[in-house]
Structure 1
Amino acid sequence: MRSLFCCWLLLISAAAVADDAAWQAWREGKAVLMLRHALAPGTGDPAGFQLQDCQTQRNLNQQGRQQAKAWGQKLRQHYSGDIRLYSSQWCRCLETAQLMAIAPVQPLPALNSFFAGRGDGQQQTQALLDYFAKPGEMPLVLVSHQVNFTALTGIFPQSAAGAILALPLTQPAKVLASVSLDER
């Protein structure tokens, strides 16, 4: 029983070291943090969706707004310098990014949802690969949707979940760590 406990402690320690290395790569601009937008209950968007009209879209609820603010606090704990922040043009992503309050939000159409035929998944994923084809000079954060996240990583994230991905981006992306608000 004691050896099982020791193995468990070693696994936890190895995971913590791997997470620390992933966050370090992010701080150095050698990785990007990709987040699924915070909680916006439902699936897809209602009929009559219009990109420029938030009233026609699924939007963050109170819990989602709290998650977005918590991500901002978490990222400031990991890094206090300049961050480059990109977001889908969908209101739930823009609001997530804005509420994080870590940097000016730069809308990036390649991060837009392609759920239910709203975009071109292959073309948008390739655009992300091209756009982030080399390491950056500062930490990068991308706020997008489940379909974009899954197309790039193969992971089906919950709302407000993320992953630190090695740069340059590849498909599938090299996931350095899965991250959430629950961990340090």
Structure 2
Amino acid sequence: MVQRRQLIQASLAAALPLTSSGVTATEPDAATLLRQGGVVVAFRHALAPGTFDPPGFRVDDCRTQRNLSEEGREQARAIGRWFQAQGLQPARVRSSPWCRCLDTARLAFNQAEAWPALASPHGAAEATSAAHLRELREGLAAVSQQRGRFEVWVTHMFVLSALADANTDSGEGLLLRAEGGALRVLARLRVA
């Protein structure tokens, strides 16, 4: 397990260049894709120093978990300000039940609906993780059929890696769409 984590950490993508507005340069434009709808922007939670939750943590007790730093809290608020400045309002904001994900969603969008499918797979059986991935793919397929609206999902690096085969930095989002039975990463969104 430790070797797998080290391998995943070693393969994290290099930081993308930022535009003068502090938003990661991506093509096609993330705001345009969000306005068109039929997409999910799936964020890795904002900065929460450390790597894993401490032994004996409980999902229902934030005091036992790895939580957002003040920098992470500001990162989440910056995400919200970017969406507000673009005039973009998600139809739904779903989050892993972990506190750092819920806090990211609430600080950015003033709302969060806990969705166990977005939970970290740490400590979960493989069958559970497979069931969660199936549920996420089904959710994405449903959103992809709804033009003119988009959803925000806030989750963990391991979930995004398993779902989209892409690594993300803290607070980075992947714009996802299901097309022809396949998941496509359309763009990356990182607000500085």
Partner of 1:138: 149
Does 2:116 match 1:113?
no
* Residue aligned with 1:143, SS: strand
The Cα RMSD (Å) is: 2.4
Alpha-carbon distance in structure 2 between the residues aligned to 1:17 and 1:68: 20
How much has 1:167 moved relative to structure 2?
Answer: 3.7
Relative distance call for 1:17 and 1:125 in structure 2 (3 A) is closer
Does 2:172 match 1:164?
no
Does 2:161 match 1:154?
no
Partner of 1:43: 51
- 1:28-77 alpha-carbon deviations (Å, 9 max, x no partner): 32111010000111112111111110011000010000000000011112
Q: Which runs of 5 or more residues in structure 1 are unaligned?
A: 1-11
Q: Decide which of 134, 137, 142 is 1:129's aligned counterpart.
A: 137
Does 2:191 match 1:181?
yes
* Residue aligned with 2:132, SS: helix
Relative distance call for 1:44 and 1:23 in structure 2 (3 A) is same
Query: Relative contact order (C-alpha < 8 Å, sep 6+): which is higher?
Result: 2
* Residue aligned with 2:83, SS: helix
The one-letter amino acid of 1:160's match is: G
Q: Does structure 1 conserve the Cα–Cα contact (< 8 Å) formed by 2:34 and 2:88?
A: no
Number of residues of Structure 1 aligned to a counterpart in Structure 2 = 166
How much has 1:115 moved relative to structure 2?
Answer: 2.6
Q: Does structure 2 conserve the Cα–Cα contact (< 8 Å) formed by 1:85 and 1:103?
A: no
Partner of 1:25: 33
Partner of 2:9: none
Alpha-carbon distance in structure 2 between the residues aligned to 1:77 and 1:141: 16
- Residue identity over aligned pairs, in percent, reads 36
Alpha-carbon distance in structure 1 between the residues aligned to 2:71 and 2:46: 8
How much has 1:79 moved relative to structure 2?
Answer: 2.8
Alpha-carbon distance in structure 1 between the residues aligned to 2:41 and 2:25: 17
Relative distance call for 1:17 and 1:72 in structure 2 (3 A) is closer
The TM-score with structure 2 as length reference comes to: 0.77
Alpha-carbon distance in structure 1 between the residues aligned to 2:85 and 2:181: 28
Q: Does structure 2 conserve the Cα–Cα contact (< 8 Å) formed by 1:113 and 1:144?
A: yes
* Residue aligned with 2:27, SS: helix
Partner of 2:100: 92
The TM-score with structure 1 as length reference comes to: 0.80
Relative distance call for 1:17 and 1:56 in structure 2 (3 A) is closer
How much has 1:25 moved relative to structure 2?
Answer: 2.7
